[in-house]
Amino acid sequence: MEDLSTDVLGTRSPGVPPLRADLLPGGTVPTDDERLERSLAFSRTHVSDDGQVTIRRAPAPPGYSGARFTGTCAICVRAGLLAPGGEALADVRAAVRFLATHDHGEAD
């Protein structure tokens, strides 16, 4: 019985060498955490897709070497659950947690 492959990438003409992944353009896709960190490093601000959550790089006090951010959620501010000035976030990991916590979806 003849093997008739329907996998287009698995079939090639005789004499054509196989593709080598190391020769293909592109690279790895960054994680959401990496994209957030890059966004904050580049523009100092990240706004969620729905515009309700904002993370901003806070000015660092003299002598403080770590990254600090402020997170604000418009929905939580309106509900009185978060101060209008936002919440102080110590690092990117805290910013990621803040974004995940304030992903209210379609419920609000």
Query: For the segment 1-55, what is each residue's pLDDT rounded down to a tens digit?
Result: 555 555 555 565 666 666 665 565 666 666 777 888 888 888 889 998 889 999 9
pTM: 0.63
22-52 in b/e form (b: 16+ CB < 10 A) is: eeeeeeeeeeeeeebbeebeeeeebeeeeeb
- Domain residue limits, the chain: 30-107
CA 11 from chain centre, in angstroms, equals: 36
Per DSSP, what are the bridge partners of residue 47? 54
* pLDDT, average across residues 65-81: 86
